[in-house]
Amino acid sequence: MTINSQLPSVQLFTDGGCSGNPGPGGWAFILRHPASTKELERSGAEPNTTNNRMELTAVVRGLETLTKRSHVELLTDSVYVGKGISEWLPKWKANGWRRKERNKLVPIANEQLWRELDTLLAKHHVKYTRVAGHSGHPENDRCDELAVAAYQKYLR
C-alpha cells in the first residue's frame, strides 16, 4: 500500500481477555486522534469465547469505526494479533485460509474475524506496535479494565 501523508493519523489501543479460556470474555479499544486529542472508547463481551478471539475482536471493532482511510498505529499486547498481521496472514490467504499442522492444511481459528481484519487492513495503513501487558501502560491498562468490566455480566 502506498503511504499518503495526507491521510489522518490515529492510534488504536486494544485489549481482550477472558475469565477462563474459553469462558466469558471481553474486548475493548481506545481510538485516539492525536491532532485533535479526540478519543473514543468502546467495549463488548461474549458469554463463551477465547482470549485470542477477544484480542482479535478488539482490533476489528476499532478499525471498523474509522470512517476515512487512515494511518493507524495499532498498539496491543497481543502477540497473536501481531504475528497474525505481520507473518501469518499472507500464508493463510495463499493456503485458502488454512495453516499447516503436522504437514496437513487445517482451518485457522477465528477465520471470519481474520477475514474481516484482512479487509480492514486493505483500507488503512496499519503499523503494529507491541506493548507489554499489565506493565503500567496507561491505555493498555484502561483497555484491560474496560474488557474485564464488559464480561462481568456473564459471571453473575
Residue 77: active-site member = yes
Residue 118: active-site member = no
Give the three-state DSSP class for 1.
coil
Residue 82: active-site member = no
Q: Which of 46, 55, 116, 139 is catalytic?
A: 55
Q: Which of 44, 46, 77, 124 is catalytic?
A: 77
Residue 144: active-site member = yes
Q: Which of 46, 116, 139, 144 is catalytic?
A: 144
- 32: which residues sit within 8 A by CB, 6+ positions away? 10, 11, 12, 13, 38, 39, 139
Angle between helix 111-123 and 51-64 (nearest 10): 30
Q: Which of 16, 25, 44, 82 is catalytic?
A: 16
Please identify every residue annotated as catalytic. Answer: 15-16, 55, 77, 134, 144
